[in-house]
Structure 1
């Protein structure tokens, strides 16, 4: 994933401005309140004052800002607790942000947590910011007893010794939302010993919950129960072999997946000519190692390296955390549990089980990041996972979470794209089961803060022209427009003596002037045009029959999306939110191009996991309902042709090796037990995909 921690709510650049709009001063719990697109009222019940907040419908980031009289030192604090009540009839997803500077933009100088509260519930939350879980190589730690514990994320720099404000906020509510908040309390750093908190099956050792595995016999019994369940829920009867709508209209059959606008709605069409909405599961694979090195005391019982489970030890590198840039010893609890459950032939048994599960659960697509072994399957459609990798120049956008942006003006980028597309296409180009190709993921298209939408242009200017093809392209554009450097200086409010001087690294003054911003956006469009054109040409050179599904936008501006629509058969986004907001994503209709969601998820903390992921749910029941609501919101948007859940299996309790994510985001646990509420939700949604999309009466008429 990715995600940028996709910061549900962290944001896209300055969306959550650090300075809320002014209003008459009101104090609560010792803090001055500054509501923005929200109404507040204090109810002074004896000993328990309550702040009632009504967040306004339609506002993008309604919030209440809490300002202390002077900066706070929370360096010795483990968490800030508060109690929320939700008197409404719908779950509410909320965010909580802490800033150490008035220049905070929601990522830099900020720490943000996200949570949710069920309807009619009162719940105490703890926003935990010490100790840093990533110092132990994971995103979340064991929960604080009696509270829903929310982890924080954000960019550097940040100091808990200088907290200047914090805020409670929502994102784009589609109706007025009221929450009641109690006073805040700081919790001192805990002295709890983390020794032995992970049991032999990779589960939290200090809690119990329905479905927890206590013995190998539990795994075998769960297998028997699931086999009976799958037998009782065969694939849907009104589907063609690919999962398309067999009872729907018969359209042109080309032998490959394609797109068509039908009845005013974009749809995929199966190789046999039936309408297809892609409901997928990402990361259908069995490889989920977690680091042992430096954390040996966390694990209560690791197997004998010379025994049958010794094969699941390994070694890996890391991108983030204490082993960043190094290698360490790992153990894969998921594969060990598969061995315990299915025996020595576990890999084949697991693969066959996955191919049974997906159609039974209502899914029709194996999503991105999945085991390439599924490229050979002829039971469930799949997407091919690709990227452009090689030695070429890069550019910073200012928010380079997964790394700097490839420079498409570098000829070496085109050569790398050609080589990568050739190798990937050779594996799937003749398969009718391949829906298409996702190429790259969550690239750094945009930055944060002032003029973040043109971050690539600002980043290009900071490069040395002799080493940056992108900068040379931008300077050529500027010279063509202005000619005389004096005209450039006047437009940009700059003080540069010559075009030659501008070839050196240059930091533009922010905010940009209106004309400078227009210049920068023009360059960003040219950058995106070059990127998408280069990849499309390489991909279609080796596979003209399958769909180019885009780059799975996370950070982006509308400019890049519009350029992508010129070259992608389907434009893709990773959208982590409680649902797809109709107002926010309504502009996709202007593209006249089908779109697809490559990632979304929700997580909860009621099954022994330590982090809910990027969008939080209060429990598994609500998590399942949120899944239904999200897919319905996608079906309601005529531009979308599918959405894929990230991911098939929960991440390891102590974090995946690459970046420490340890989220409850799977349809199955690390012991390979399906989440029954999620399965029931997926079966419901999968059964009604086409009748919901087109209406039951319309479907019957057709």
Structure 2
């Protein structure tokens, strides 16, 4: 559907020439009877269609200001009804274990990301829609806004199915899109015929280190070393090693449609019954990716798909299977791996902070770690363990302490009250208490790890944004961790930031997640957007090579192996962030860039070659950007 079809009365145009584009519409012009005071209502129900899957901001002007959320539509170009809980506009997110669980909220025709302005929903007089750096000129048309006490549910109002028989978006066209099984099988055969010679391409050792650059005879396990002012991993045989990884490596992906019963009219051809499963809530999940895998490989599909996964890693220069990957692939002993202790005592009620004052804390912590460590204690392919992922309390220490004080009676509340009694109650002391809890927690985890597994590295906590981690916190980490890890969704890790982290922690660094995506396949554009698939490749090279040019960065992991589900994973995300799409076809622009970077990373990190200098065109992050009103 072209944007010319958006010719109704209440259309907002998003101008691709502008950094931020949008407009407001008076609610009385859409629904003259809608109240201005939303007290007592729980949902605002918006009926709309938007011409793109690119995220947009949807907000309301109130008597105190302007409140908004970010919306990602699963159904570009199609009419739909989205019921948004009003609490998302009026209150901070509830406490959760990590950042994604805190801010991502799944629905059925789209998903919602929190983090915008909030306030009382009184004196509401207009609705606003805005978009940052629109990829092409786009439109949103709104034909109704209503309020509800109960959840009326979302509804797909489009004329054709939103998902085709292969699990692709049925609402968007793109060059090379799979339209038949015959066409898809040609693509599969072409990939299977491609030769691979990893030794000639990258010069990797058995464990993925650099054969031409041996540090020593090895210890049988991974470790770190500083050589001529530059940090490296050293592989079990003693070769210098940089971790070039991808997260969520599986033999299929991106093809689950959860809660089929809630998505009337959205699916055309359902997979055969054997590919329909039950989710945790008892609703049906349609597994298109599993169907595609069986259509590709037939009998022994999982074994054949595993071989293909390793062939792809060999070809693309990937030497590390990153976090949240298939345990069967990890256990095959063909690539370096990382593991996570998550949650290992971390408490969702404490925004992911470890409850060191909890009942049986030490005993429960040890039991939790043992479940992860037992299969890997003597595994030479394991680089090390992460302690957790994106704790949401960082930068929210005041709120966390207030939540503890307002909450149930428990050990950590007693400890906080004693801390306040001794040190006083102010911003600095509340932060100091949280930091003390964190220190106690990571020291306990590290001690238990060393007792249960003295061989492997402690890879840190994968902070959501190391910019929010101050000198005090970095100093605490530096005394416990072997590697300082963080997720870094950016154009590339900023060298001044890396300098600070290295100086204040004294540790080599590892990026746990980064990615780039676009909207041309009808999915969300990821946390960092680029204009096209070709620009995804440019962005990958720029990020990885400029990151590894820093002497302290020794690992990156791209998120993820496959695209996310087109109608949203468990928390709603439906990003075009994969190396491979739902039809099990790699993105050539992305994978070619991975190969080109892998060939030069040793020289770049050693300071012998310059990193890739071309920046992607008009790449933008997921921050709120400049204000419009």
TM-score, normalized by the shorter chain, greater than 0.5: yes
Deviation at 1:474, TM superposition (A): 1.9
SS in 2 for 1:475: helix
Q: Write the deviation string for residues 144-165 of structure 1: whole angstroms up to 9, x where unpaired.
A: xxxxxxx865477796955598
SS in 1 for 2:173: coil
SS in 2 for 1:293: helix
Native 8 Å contact 2:57 2:130 kept in 1: yes
Matched, 1:598 2:565: no
Matched, 1:471 2:438: no
Q: Distance in 2 between matches of 1:360 and 1:129?
A: 42
Q: Distance in 1 between matches of 2:375 and 2:558?
A: 24
Q: Distance in 1 between matches of 2:169 and 2:437?
A: 47
Pairing 1:183-222 to 2, within 5 Å after superposition: 187-189=141-143, 193=158, 195-222=160-187
Matched, 1:457 2:401: yes
Aligned to 1:573: 486
Deviation at 1:606, TM superposition (A): 1.6
CA RMSD of aligned residues (A): 4.0
Aligned to 2:560: 647
Q: Distance in 1 between matches of 2:223 and 2:163?
A: 47
Deviation at 1:470, TM superposition (A): 1.7
Aligned to 1:293: 261
Q: Distance in 1 between matches of 2:506 and 2:225?
A: 11
Q: Distance in 1 between matches of 2:80 and 2:473?
A: 35
Q: Write the deviation string for residues 301-325 of structure 1: whole angstroms up to 9, x where unpaired.
A: 11332xxxx1x221112xxxxxxxx
Q: Write the deviation string for residues 264-314 of structure 1: whole angstroms up to 9, x where unpaired.
A: 222211111122111111111246532222224211111332xxxx1x221
Cα pair distance change 1:113/1:131, threshold 3 Å: closer
Aligned to 1:350: 305
Q: Distance in 1 between matches of 2:130 and 2:107?
A: 28
Q: Distance in 2 between matches of 1:70 and 1:199?
A: 36
Aligned to 2:392: 444
Aligned to 2:600: 688
Deviation at 1:394, TM superposition (A): 5.7
* Aligned pair partner of 1:251 in 213, 216, 221: 216
Aligned to 1:315: 278
Cα pair distance change 1:219/1:468, threshold 3 Å: same
SS in 1 for 2:375: helix
Deviation at 1:418, TM superposition (A): 0.3
SS in 1 for 2:562: coil
Deviation at 1:329, TM superposition (A): 0.9
Structure 1 gap ranges (5+) = 1-47, 55-62, 83-92, 116-124, 141-150, 171-178, 318-325, 398-403, 482-487, 493-515
Q: Distance in 1 between matches of 2:495 and 2:440?
A: 30
Q: Distance in 2 between matches of 1:356 and 1:684?
A: 17
Cα pair distance change 1:426/1:393, threshold 3 Å: closer
Cα pair distance change 1:157/1:204, threshold 3 Å: farther
Aligned to 1:484: none
Deviation at 1:237, TM superposition (A): 4.5
* Aligned pair partner of 1:424 in 372, 375, 385: 372
Q: Write the deviation string for residues 162-191 of structure 1: whole angstroms up to 9, x where unpaired.
A: 559888879xxxxxxxx9999x97623499
Aligned to 1:413: 361
Deviation at 1:576, TM superposition (A): 1.7
Aligned to 1:625: 538
Matched, 1:522 2:471: no
Moved more, 582-591 or 628-637: 582-591
Cα pair distance change 1:51/1:137, threshold 3 Å: closer
Deviation at 1:138, TM superposition (A): 5.6
Deviation at 1:65, TM superposition (A): 11
Aligned to 2:246: 281
Aligned pairs, number: 543
Matched, 1:547 2:498: no
Aligned to 1:638: 551
Q: Distance in 1 between matches of 2:476 and 2:56?
A: 32
Structure 2 gap ranges (5+) = 1-12, 32-43, 85-104, 145-155, 611-629
Native 8 Å contact 1:570 1:594 kept in 2: yes
Matched, 1:330 2:285: yes
Cα pair distance change 1:283/1:132, threshold 3 Å: farther
Q: Distance in 2 between matches of 1:95 and 1:235?
A: 46
Q: Distance in 2 between matches of 1:157 and 1:649?
A: 38
Native 8 Å contact 1:200 1:301 kept in 2: yes
* Aligned pair partner of 1:131 in 77, 82, 89: 82
Aligned to 1:370: 325
Cα pair distance change 1:208/1:267, threshold 3 Å: same
- Give every structure 1 segment of 4 or more consecutive aligned residues whose post-TM-superposition deviation is greater than 4 Å: 50-54, 63-77, 79-82, 93-105, 132-136, 151-170, 179-182, 232-235, 392-395
SS in 2 for 1:429: coil
Q: Distance in 1 between matches of 2:428 and 2:25?
A: 39
Q: Distance in 2 between matches of 1:582 and 1:169?
A: 26
Q: Write the deviation string for residues 533-589 of structure 1: whole angstroms up to 9, x where unpaired.
A: 111111111111101112221165424443223212112111222222233443212
Native 8 Å contact 2:550 2:605 kept in 1: no
SS in 1 for 2:296: helix
Deviation at 1:478, TM superposition (A): 2.4
Q: Write the deviation string for residues 654-691 of structure 1: whole angstroms up to 9, x where unpaired.
A: 222x2222111110011110000001000011111110
Pairing 1:480-495 to 2, within 5 Å after superposition: 480-481=422-423, 488=424, 492=425
SS in 2 for 1:268: strand
Instruction: Give the TM-score normalised by structure 2.
Output: 0.76
Aligned to 1:110: 68
Q: Distance in 1 between matches of 2:286 and 2:439?
A: 43
Pairing 1:374-385 to 2, within 5 Å after superposition: 374-385=329-340
Native 8 Å contact 1:235 1:359 kept in 2: no
Matched, 1:303 2:271: yes
SS in 2 for 1:250: coil
Deviation at 1:634, TM superposition (A): 1.6
Cα pair distance change 1:393/1:685, threshold 3 Å: closer
Q: Distance in 2 between matches of 1:135 and 1:529?
A: 34
